[in-house]
Amino acid sequence: MRNSATLIIAAIMAMAVSGASATMRISDDIGGRIGAYVDQYSAVRNSGEKVVIDGACLSACTLVLGIVPRNRICVTRRATLGFHAAWMPGPNGKPVPSSVGTQALWDMYPQHVRQWINSRGGLSPKMMFLARPRADVDVSGCSDDDWMR
């Protein structure tokens, strides 16, 4: 019984150590509910995982920039970020602007991201795109080791 407990503890510790070196890859993510992304990226932040943005990261996906430490995020040549004001489905299914959701997005973005958005007129219903977003939003380019895995 004692050996079983020791093995279980060792397995849990091994998973924790290997999880810290894991990498989350984002590509072709069109976004979704803000709360779901906050939960997902908070778990990534707490796990120590790195994030590679290797394609589209749109809408709520961009919250990664405000939740995961920027020294654990990198972008490839294929990365594109897309920002817009939040919305929710209205009674007839059409999008209705959400000032509460937009404020939540805004509050989570770091200052350098907010500056970039403001320099383009602020968040609006129309998506604004940033391709190869390195210096513009203060993230690093990925090394070959990061994005080739």
pLDDT per residue over 33-63, tens digit each?
Answer: 999 999 999 999 999 999 999 999 999 999 9
pTM of the model: 0.80
State the DSSP H helix or E strand holding residue 122, giving kind and residue range, or none if neither.
none
Give the separation between CA 125 and CA 141, rounded to whole angstroms: 29
Neighbours of 50 (CB within 10 A): 21
Confidence of residue 111 (pLDDT cuts 50, 70, 90): very high
Per-residue pLDDT, 5: 41
Question: Which DSSP symbol is given to 42?
Answer: H
Residue 71 CB contacts under 8 Å (≥ 6 apart), including other chains: 140
